[in-house]
Chains A and B, each alone.
Chain A
């Protein structure tokens, strides 16, 4: 596709359930980011993938959060045993890689944990 695609756009789940969020980056983009944005807040860095390098997981808030990127393309963010404080918009972005490149964002997944 022409842009970064995220699915689902909305996810409502019960506390304690696991959820998977998907991101399909722009074709040819080697860098992929996950950010979390709580209501009225800025973007909280979660994880960064660059090519075949080991991902930078320094932003993951707990071991309930994990992410993988298969074949250098699609990425899945998994949240296990969801908590109410996990409710937020999860944004995926991709770029051509390197420090000078701008990020292209998907439309985000609104996660609500009841």
Chain B
């Protein structure tokens, strides 16, 4: 079992819709959870971090964490074509090293 699993997509949503991205992880001792965005040909950049169960909102982005289910999600409201990118879920299990999922490709159609 991979340590961090994501649906590779692509996920296609119309402009203005809500995009929902999901991630599961295997290490119950994981402490920190991140969503990075990577545009084609560019390096990843952090968009959200979450450390405790529940929701965390930042502008159009909401991260959701459920440690009992070992599940992390990212919701993007009012999706824009500029949100089209690959979204990488990252988890820090015990030992502090950060492990990434394979990423979900998102396309927002104008």
Contact = CB atoms under 8 A, between A and B. Distances in A.
Chain A contact-residue range equals 20 to 34
A96 B100 CA distance: 18
B85 interface: no
Chain B contact-residue range equals 20 to 34
A31 B45 contact: no
Interface of A is mostly: loop
Contacts of A103: 34, 36, 44, 46, 90, 98
B69 interface: no
B51 A43 contact: no
A41 interface: yes
B96 A50 contact: yes
A88 to B, nearest CB: 14
Given A45-B99, A99-B31, A100-B49, 10 more contacts: A41-B102, A42-B88, A45-B100, A48-B96, A48-B97, A91-B43, A100-B32, A102-B49, A105-B44, A108-B43
Interface of B: 6, 31-32, 34, 36, 43-46, 49, 51, 88, 90, 92, 95-103
